[in-house]
Every structure is written in C-alpha cells, then in structure tokens.
C-alpha cells in the first residue's frame, strides 16, 4: 500500500513536470453530476501531485444539483455539510489542444477517509464493468456526439430561458457537402484537436437539423468511453469558442425540430471473441449477447430516466425523428430504440448494437453503468430478444403496433422516473444513495419545468450541457 502510494506520488510528480514543460498552467478535474453537467475544480499544474495524493475538495451537495443550478435533496444527500475529494485519473490526463495552457483529467470521488463515495458515477461505471468482467464479459462502448453550432451573439448572451434568434454559420442542406465547405476550417480544427488529444475519430458529418453535426469516436472500455464523450464535448465547445461560435449539445435546441442524440454503441466479447459474430446463430448473436440486449430492451423505460434525464429530452423524443421512441429493436432500423448493426461479415468490429434513445443531458458514466446492469440482469434472467421490427413503428396504426407488441417508451420524465424508482435491478446496481440522488434530481427537474411551454424548456436548457 505504502509503496503503491509512493509510486503514484512519483508518477504524479513526473506528470506535473512534463505538463509544466509543455506549458500547461492549469489542470481541469471534471466529474459529471446527476443532471448531466460536467462540474469542475481546477488546480495549477504544479499542484497535480498534491491533488493525486490528497484529492481536491468538493461538496457532496453537487449530487443533488439540477441543470439550472438549483439544489434539491435526497434522503442521503443535500445541505451544506460534508466534503468529498476529487482524485484525478492520472492515466487520462490530457493536454487540451483548444485551450492552450490547460490540461484535463476526469475525477473519481472519495470521502475524506479515502472510501469510495457511494454516489460516484464514474466508480459506478467501473463497478458495473468489473461485474461484467466477473461474468466473463468484456464490453466495448462508444458515444456519438451530435451538436448544433451557431454564431456566438455579439452582445451578452440572452438570459437563460429567454428566447433568442439562432444565427447559424452554415446554410447548407442536411447531410450536405455545402455545410462542410462553409465550415471547413472549424470542422478541421475539431478533428485535429481531438486527434492530438488521442481521441480516435471515426467520422464527422453534417446532421439533419440546421447547424447540426455529428462526430463518432472509436469504441473503448465503458469508463473510457464515458471519459471520451466528456472530452469530445468540451473540445468541440472550446474549438467553437475560438471560432466565434457556440455549440449546443442539448436534447432539444429548438422545440419541434430534430434534436441532438447521444447514442450509445456497445459490443460484447468473451475471451476476446465477439458475441455478435457467432457462426450459425440468428443475426450472429451468441445466446449471452441476445440475453444482454434483451435485458437492455426490457429495462429501457427505466433506463430513460438515466439516458434522457431532462424535461427537454422528451421534446426530442418524437416518433419518426430517428430518436428511437418505441420499445423495440431492429436490424439496422433507425426508428427502433435498440438498433442492431451487423456490419460487413469480414469486419471484426462491425457487429454491435446501438441504444438510440439517449441524449447528451445524460451522465455518460451513469448511462454505461446502468446499461451494463440491465444487460447483466438480462443474462441472469435468461432473457431472449423478441422478433425484430422493420420499418417505422410511428407510421403504424395503434392497433398494428399493439398487434406487434410495440410499446411507446415513456413520453415524459415523470413516467421514466417512476419506472426507475420501481426498477429493482437498477436500484440494486446503483445502490440506495446514487439511485435516490438521481431520482431526487429528476423530480426536481420535473417540478421546475412543470408549467413551462416547450419553447421555454428548449430555451432554458439550450446551453446547459
């Protein structure tokens, strides 16, 4: 123990010296709260070793912060008392390309005695990854990042909640090359910043809504995938600022339009072999992969309270918007909440699944942890995927949907939170403190926006994540 601590201290000192030599002055330690907001404490680079040894103080009250910075309370958390320590993950310290003089590291949260904080979302994600590993399963995950870019306002930004005209810096059609030409310097800087930071970009393209783009990054282990999406988002934000632009990752930038998703891709392996490429199995799915995906599908109503955590999320979740609002799965079906991607047969990484419903208001650590918990529960209860659905369930009549057994996922945060409250597997996996804090935040968000019109919800949340 002592020698491990000494080793870590040495490692942190060397890292701090390297950062200083690179001109890094400050290190931002982020963690993501239950409202999906990346909160931060920063330390001068020369304090990094001290931070790695003793942590950096931050109140546990942030576990019950809402997306508008109000404070609620759960049975276990809330109020001004107590302190936690943020410990930077030294393996993920990254020099930020679009914030000269800055580095970033994701943090884990411990109490003052050095015990894991029971509501630490990143440790929850790690616990679930280890639980899967104990069952012999390895997971690879990756988030898609969608965002809408606008010109930054010349004067002071509009007050939260006030509607503002959005000034798009590109005018081209959805998925059109025009947008790439119009914003080529900006988009090149986004990919360049990500790549020098060690993030492996798979592709970048214009999306459907005005000013909307998407970037996808390579799959990684679940905790790393969640770290990556935080880094990707903050990098896009920083590059945008340098170009006089503003990036919105909000689920609904303009109420009624196609929103920003943050789809979660996942694949399963046992002993290094993909469970999506099983010879002779239907859709290539090994029984454990079918059970795991069946577990996710069954838990989706409760998972929505994790993956679609804001009243704004439900503005995005409209049928026929590629957001996956029906509880069904399909092979390459972009209207199914769970999409199976088969890929070319000779592509070893081609077979995987995508949870389409989630958005970027979600805490990505909670999202990966909860999806793993649901999948493992699917295996324990010998779940099987039902028949896949083809086509858009949204265009079917109510009767036909009922005949096919397709149910609409929760259409409000209240409904999703009720399902999470009753979910025994998610309660067990998260533990009472984390589960209670998440629910308290969901209830407070519902109450805050209960009387708000759709436009006001979109305007109030547009720049929060």
CB 236 within 8 A of CB 191: no
351, 274, 261: which is closest to 315 by C-alpha? 261
Q: How far is the CB of 47 from Mg ion (least distance, A)?
A: 40
Binding track over 214-243 against Mg ion, x by CB under 5 A: x-----------------------------
Determine if 354 is a binding residue for ligand GLU (CB under 6 A).
Answer: no
Determine if 376 is a binding residue for ligand GLU (CB under 6 A).
Answer: no
The nearer residue to ligand GLU, 261 or 295, going by C-beta atoms, is: 261
Q: How far is the CB of 172 from ligand GLU (least distance, A)?
A: 17
DSSP 13-37: HHHHHHHHHTT--EEEEEEE-TTS-
Instruction: Say how far apart CA 325 and CA 310 lie, in whole Å.
Output: 15
For residue 457, the SS3 value is helix
CB 241 within 8 A of CB 190: no
Q: How far is the CB of 238 from Mg ion (least distance, A)?
A: 22
Find which of Mg ion, ligand GLU, none residue 322 binds, CB within 5 to 8 Å per kind. ligand GLU
Determine if 323 is a binding residue for ligand GLU (CB under 6 A).
Answer: yes
Binding track over 135-154 against ligand GLU, x by CB under 6 A: -----------x--------
Helix (H) or strand (E) holding 336: strand 336-341
The nearer residue to Mg ion, 63 or 214, going by C-beta atoms, is: 214
42, 59, 49: which is closest to 103 by C-alpha? 42
The nearer residue to ligand GLU, 108 or 207, going by C-beta atoms, is: 207
Determine if 334 is a binding residue for ligand GLU (CB under 6 A).
Answer: yes
Q: How far is the CB of 261 from ligand GLU (least distance, A)?
A: 2
Q: How far is the CB of 395 from ligand GLU (least distance, A)?
A: 17
The nearer residue to ligand GLU, 214 or 288, going by C-beta atoms, is: 214
DSSP 177-235: HHHHHHTHHHHHHHHHHHHHTT--EEEEEE-SSTTEEEEEE--B-HHHHHHHHHHHHHH
Instruction: Say how far apart CA 73 and CA 44 lie, in whole Å.
Output: 32
Q: How far is the CB of 36 from ligand GLU (least distance, A)?
A: 16
The nearer residue to ligand GLU, 108 or 214, going by C-beta atoms, is: 214
- Exactly one of 316, 377, 462, 464 binds ligand GLU (CB under 6 A); that residue is 316
Contacts of 274-279 with CB under 8 Å at 24 or more apart are 274/348, 274/349, 274/351, 275/137, 276/342, 276/350, 276/351, 276/352, 276/353, 277/348, 277/351
The nearer residue to ligand GLU, 19 or 355, going by C-beta atoms, is: 355
Determine if 259 is a binding residue for ligand GLU (CB under 6 A).
Answer: yes
CB 221 within 8 A of CB 364: no
The nearer residue to ligand GLU, 106 or 219, going by C-beta atoms, is: 219
Instruction: Say how far apart CA 9 and CA 132 lie, in whole Å.
Output: 31
Q: What number of chain residues touch ligand GLU (CB under 6 A)?
A: 12
Please measure the distance between the N-terminal and C-terminal CA atoms of the chain and give it in whole angstroms. Answer: 39
By the criterion CB under 6 A, which residues form the site for ligand GLU? 146, 207-208, 214, 258-259, 261, 316, 321-323, 334
């Amino acid at each position: 123990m002592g020698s491990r601590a000494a080793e870590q201290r040495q490692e942190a000192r060397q890292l701090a010296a390297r950062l200083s030599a690179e001109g890094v002055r400050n290190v931002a330690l982020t963690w993501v709260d239950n409202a999906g907001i990346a909160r931060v404490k920063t330390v001068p680079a020369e304090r990094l070793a001290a931070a790695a040894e003793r942590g950096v103080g931050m109140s546990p009250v942030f576990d019950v912060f809402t997306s508008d910075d109000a404070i609620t309370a759960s049975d276990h958390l809330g109020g001004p008392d107590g302190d936690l320590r943020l410990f930077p993950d030294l393996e993920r310290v990254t020099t930020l390309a679009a914030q000269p003089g800055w580095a970033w590291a994701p943090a884990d949260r411990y109490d003052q005695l050095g015990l894991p904080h029971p509501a630490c979302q990143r440790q929850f994600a790690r616990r679930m990854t280890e639980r899967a590993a104990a069952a012999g399963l390895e997971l690879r995950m990756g988030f898609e990042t969608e965002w809408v870019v606008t010109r930054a306002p010349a004067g002071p930004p509009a007050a939260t909640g006030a509607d503002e005209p959005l000034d798009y810096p590109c005018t081209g059609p959805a998925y059109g090359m025009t947008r790439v030409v119009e914003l080529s310097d900006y988009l090149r800087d986004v990919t360049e910043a990500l790549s020098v930071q060690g993030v492996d970009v798979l592709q970048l393209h214009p999306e459907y809504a005005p000013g909307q783009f998407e970037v996808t990054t390579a799959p990684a282990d679940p905790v790393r995938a969640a770290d990556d999406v935080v880094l990707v988002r903050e990098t896009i934000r920083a590059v945008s600022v340098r170009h006089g632009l503003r990036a919105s990752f909000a689920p609904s930038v303009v109420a009624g339009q196609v929103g920003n998703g943050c789809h979660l891709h996942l694949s399963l392996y046992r002993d290094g072999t993909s469970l999506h490429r099983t010879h002779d199995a239907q859709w290539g799915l090994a029984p454990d992969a079918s059970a795991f995906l069946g577990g996710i599908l069954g838990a989706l109503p409760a998972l929505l309270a994790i993956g679609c955590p804001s009243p704004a999320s439900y503005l995005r979740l409209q049928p026929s918007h590629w957001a996956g609002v029906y509880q069904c799965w399909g092979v390459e079906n972009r209207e199914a909440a769970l999409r199976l991607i088969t890929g070319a047969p000779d592509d070893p990484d081609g077979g995987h699944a995508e949870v389409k419903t989630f958005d970027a208001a979600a805490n990505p650590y909670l999202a990966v942890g909860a999806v793993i918990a649901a999948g493992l529960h699917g295996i324990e209860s010998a779940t099987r995927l039902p028949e896949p659905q083809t086509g858009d369930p949204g265009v079917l009549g109510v009767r036909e949907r009922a005949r096919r057994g397709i149910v609409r996922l929760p259409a409000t945060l209240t409904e999703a939170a009720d399902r999470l409250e009753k979910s025994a597997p998610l309660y067990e996996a998260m533990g009472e403190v984390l589960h209670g804090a998440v629910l308290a935040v969901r209830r407070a968000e519902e109450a805050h926006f209960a009387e708000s019109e759709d436009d006001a919800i979109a305007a109030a949340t547009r720049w929060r994540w």
